[in-house]
Amino acid sequence: MKVCINPGHDVNLDSGAVNPRTGRRECDVALEAGELLQTYLNQAGCQTVLVQDDDLGYVCHVSDDFDADIFVSLHCNAFNTQARGTETLYKSFNGQRLANDIQSQIIRSINTVDRGVKKRDDLWVLNGTNAVAVLVEMAFIDNDDDLEMLNNDLDTIVRAIARGITDYIGGV
C-alpha cells in the first residue's frame, strides 16, 4: 500500500492554529506527527511520501503522482480554548471506513474526547486526491489540556493512527 502523509499547513508560510499561551504552532506538531507516522508505516511495509506545503493543489498532485492508495492529512484543531478532543474527517464511503479505523484506535489509546468521524464535502484535500482520504484533527492546540497531550503523547497518537491505517489495509 502507498500512503501519502500530509502534515497540515506550512512551517514557513502558514502556521495554522497557534496556542495563545505558549505559541506552539500546528504546522510544527503536524510535521513531527507526519515524520513519526512515515517511520511507523514504513516499518509496517507501506510505501510513503510526506508532503507539507501551503499549496493544496500541489499536495494533491504529489499524492496522485505517487499513486497513493491512502491520503492522511494531520492537523490540530482550534476553537475557543475550551473545546477538546479528536475527530477524523472523510468524504467517501471508503474514507469513512478509514476514518472509523483511525478514530477508534486513537480513542482506545489516549484519554481524549471522542468527537467522532464526520463527513465533510468542503475540504480541498479530501476532494483533490484520487486516494482514499481522511483528515485527522488530533487535538485542540489552543486548549492547554489537549496541548499537553500533543506535547507528551504525540507518539502514542501517531502509533494509533498507524494502527488505524493498517487495520483499514487489512480489511481491504
Q: Read off the pLDDT of residues 65-115 as tens digits, 9 standing for 90 and up.
A: 999 999 999 999 999 999 999 999 999 999 999 999 999 999 999 999 999
Relative to beta strand 86-90, strand 132-140 is antiparallel
The pLDDT value recorded for residue 131 is: 98
CA distances from 122 to 67, 97, 115, 127 (A): 23, 19, 19, 8
Task: Provide, rounded to the nearest whole percent, the portion of the chain with pLDDT above 70.
Answer: 100
pLDDT of residue 171: 83
Write down the mean pLDDT value for the chain: 97
Asked if pLDDT for residue 157 goes beyond 90, the answer is yes
Is the pLDDT reported for residue 172 higher than 80?
A: no
CA within 13 Å, CB half, 102: 32
pLDDT digits (tens, 9 = 90+) for 110-150: 999 999 999 999 999 999 999 999 999 999 999 999 999 99
